[in-house]
């Protein structure tokens, strides 16, 4: 289970984080799991009002209604919890929703994860990022694998922007991202390889070069030198990935 501090990183990676989407998604996951039908109904009403308010934040009327509905739900949950002890109160789920309605999405996710599961919650948060040209599936996969949110989102944006790249390049992006080694230099190098329109054989060579095959890097550098590309040869030997595309294209067709 992930702590609230981990979930709190997700809204921070996008300046377009949609609070209404987050609350609606959290409510859809949490509310059906509230055991008491009456409490479930009150929770649904409160969630609907809060989502409408977040979608129209300028409305004073909706803001007041959302605040009252949330206060009423919190008071109900507290009252039930006081009459019972521990988990016997049956308010764990409703308490998680209260966090969400009060803008504490990270706390809501951390509490709900044990009865909702990680993957559904990740989908809610990733969707709420509202990023364009964005690969949600890859980002969610990386988050499940333990990558920090910033790295996972960067990889999702890279693949989303370059969805036209051939499969072998997208595979390298995923592998690098999973290893925590996806940076702008790598993305630039991959972009050059994509524009180079490499043949299958050249693509295989580029993959090995990107993966750091020392013997192949040396042979490719020698070939570049023979072709008068001494600067590119030096860059390739120094680990400059931007020289990979030129090295791959130097292989005879």
Q: What is the pLDDT of residues 135-167, one digit of tens each?
A: 888 888 888 888 888 778 878 887 888 878 888
The residues spanned by each domain of the chain are 4-130, 140-249
Q: Do 116 and 142 touch, CB atoms closer than 8 A?
A: no
Q: Collect all residues with Cβ–Cβ distance below 8 Å to 55 and sequence separation of at least 6.
A: 20
Closest CA to 34 of 120, 98, 110: 98
Contacts of 237 (CB under 8 A, 6+ apart): 217, 218, 221
Half-sphere exposure in the Cβ direction for 209 (13 Å, CA): 34
pLDDT band at 115 (very low <50, low <70, confident <90, very high): very high
H-state helical runs in 56-165: 60-83, 92-101, 105-116, 118-128, 136-144, 149-161
Return the pLDDT at 99: 97
Residue 117 φ/ψ region, left for φ over 0, alpha for ψ in the -120 to 50 degree band, beta for the rest:
left
The two tokens of residue 10 are 């997700």
In this structure, are residues 187 and 194 in contact, taking their beta carbons and an 8 Å threshold?
A: no
d(CA 20, CA 13): 17
Q: Is the pTM of this model over 0.85?
A: no
Residue that is written with structure tokens 């060579």 in the block: 205
Residue 53: band (very low, low, confident or very high) from pLDDT cuts 50, 70, 90: very high
- Say what the pLDDT of residue 56 is: 94
Place of tokens 């050059």: 192
pLDDT tens readout for residues 169-213:
888 888 888 777 777 778 888 888 888 778 888 888 888 988 889
The pLDDT tens digits of the residues spanning 62-94 come to 999 999 999 999 999 999 988 876 555 678 999
- Start-to-end CA span in the chain (Å): 52
CA distance 250 to 223: 7
């Amino acid at each position: 289970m992930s702590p609230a501090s981990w979930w709190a990183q997700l809204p921070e990676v996008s300046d377009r984080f949609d609070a209404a989407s987050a609350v609606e998604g959290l409510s859809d996951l949490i509310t059906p799991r509230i055991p008491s039908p009456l409490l479930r109904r009150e929770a649904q009403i409160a969630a609907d009002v809060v989502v409408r308010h977040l979608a129209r934040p300028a409305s004073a009327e909706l803001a007041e209604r959302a605040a009252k509905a949330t206060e009423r739900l919190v008071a109900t949950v507290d009252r039930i919890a006081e009459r019972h002890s521990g988990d016997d109160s049956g308010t764990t789920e409703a308490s998680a929703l209260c966090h969400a309605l009060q803008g504490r999405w990270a706390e809501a996710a951390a509490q709900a994860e044990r009865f909702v599961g990680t993957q559904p919650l990740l989908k809610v948060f990733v969707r709420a990022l509202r990023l364009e040209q964005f690969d949600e599936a890859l980002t969610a996969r990386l988050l499940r694998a333990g990558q920090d949110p910033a790295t996972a989102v960067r990889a999702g944006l890279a693949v989303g922007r370059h969805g036209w790249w051939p499969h072998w390049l997208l595979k390298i992006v995923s592998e690098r991202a999973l290893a925590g080694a996806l940076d702008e230099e790598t993305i630039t190098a991959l972009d050059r390889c994509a524009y180079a329109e490499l043949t299958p054989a050249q693509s295989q060579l580029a993959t090995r070069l990107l993966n750091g095959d020392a013997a192949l890097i040396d042979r490719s550098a020698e070939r570049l030198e023979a072709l008068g590309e001494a600067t590119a040869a030096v860059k390739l030997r120094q680990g400059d990935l931007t020289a990979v595309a030129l090295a791959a294209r130097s292989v005879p067709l």
